């Protein structure tokens, strides 16, 4: 299974991708997670990426393409992969296509998570993340057992820097301008699948399995 999860911020790509990776054993690579990890570790990549991420802007294409090239070169990715949050521009999609062609493989499905803007804003305002293990919760739909505390490692949960209201508005604008055109780009091939990603986490997962099963 070679899969891309595509959709606006807060549409549930990370949440559902985690489930799918855990159940299928196929590794998931999320460019946002890789970049946030670099920021946390204070690497050169993290320092360079932080200003774009804090502003809700996209990190330059060549930087993320380099990260994905590296991820897909690992032995873990040889039997399949789930890409979450990449590609996000037509240039990234073209770069991915070249990368896959070099390996003689293609995408089985590009799954588009469709969620109305008001719901995205509600989800992002309610998201709480664990800075230690990366687990993601939501005060409305998926609260931790103890308020403010990670179920997995008991660290204090935080609100992501880029989940502030003004930054969320910019992320949605950037999504519509740079990422939404990918729907037409992938729509020209037969790999694009659409999931109406509203409802409970279980319901959305069922819909995801439904479309991935077709690929």
Which residues here bind ligand AP5, judged by CB under 6 A? 7, 9-15, 31-32, 35, 52-53, 56-59, 64, 85-86, 88, 92, 123, 127, 136-138, 141-142, 162, 171, 199, 201, 204
> Is 19 among the catalytic positions?
no
> Is 193 among the catalytic positions?
no
> Is 69 among the catalytic positions?
no
> Is 51 among the catalytic positions?
no
> Is 160 among the catalytic positions?
yes
The active-site residue out of 28, 88, 128, 207 is: 88
Least Å from the CB of residue 86 to ligand AP5: 4
Of 147 and 190, CB closest to ligand AP5 = 147
Q: What is the number of the residue whose Cβ is closest to ligand AP5?
A: 32
The active-site residue out of 19, 123, 171, 207 is: 171
State the virtual CA torsion across 27, 32, 151, 22 in degrees, nearest 10: -10
* Geometric angle at alpha carbon 161, from 155 and 162, rounded to 5°: 130
Beta-carbon contacts of residue 142 (< 8 Å; ≥ 6 apart): 15, 136, 201
CA distances from 142 to 123, 125, 189, 193, 197 (A): 10, 13, 35, 26, 15
Of 183 and 190, CB closest to ligand AP5 = 183
Least Å from the CB of residue 77 to ligand AP5: 16
Collapsing DSSP to helix, strand or coil, 77 comes out as helix
Joined tokens for residue 121: 């804003």
The active-site residue out of 36, 127, 128, 207 is: 127
Of 123 and 193, CB closest to ligand AP5 = 123
Least Å from the CB of residue 47 to ligand AP5: 14
Least Å from the CB of residue 120 to ligand AP5: 8
Collapsing DSSP to helix, strand or coil, 142 comes out as strand
Of 102, 144, 112, which Cα lies nearest the Cα of 127? Answer: 144
CA distance 169 to 159: 16
Residues that are catalytic: 13, 88, 127, 160, 171
């Amino acid at each position: 299974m070679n899969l891309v999860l595509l959709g606006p911020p807060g549409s549930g790509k990370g949440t559902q991708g985690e489930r799918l990776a855990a159940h299928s054993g196929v590794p998931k690579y999320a460019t946002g997670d890789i970049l946030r990890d670099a920021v946390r570790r204070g690497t050169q990549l993290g320092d360079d990426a932080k200003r774009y991420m804090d502003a809700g802007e996209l990190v330059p294409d060549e930087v993320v393409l380099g990260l994905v090239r590296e991820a897909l070169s690992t032995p873990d990715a040889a039997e399949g992969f789930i890409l979450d949050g990449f590609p996000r521009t037509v240039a990234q999609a073209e770069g991915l296509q070249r990368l896959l062609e070099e390996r003689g493989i293609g995408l089985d499905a590009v799954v588009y998570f469709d969620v109305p803007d008001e719901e995205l804003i509600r989800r992002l305002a309610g998201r709480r993340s664990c800075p230690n293990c990366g687990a993601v919760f939501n005060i409305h739909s998926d609260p931790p057992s103890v308020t403010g505390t990670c179920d997995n490692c008991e660290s204090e949960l935080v609100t992501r820097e880029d989940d502030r209201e003004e930054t969320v508005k910019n992320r949605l604008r950037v999504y519509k301008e740079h990422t939404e055109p990918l729907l037409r780009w992938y729509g020209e091939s037969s790999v694009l699948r659409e999931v109406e990603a509203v409802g409970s986490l279980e319901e959305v997962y069922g819909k995801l399995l439904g479309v991935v099963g077709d690929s």
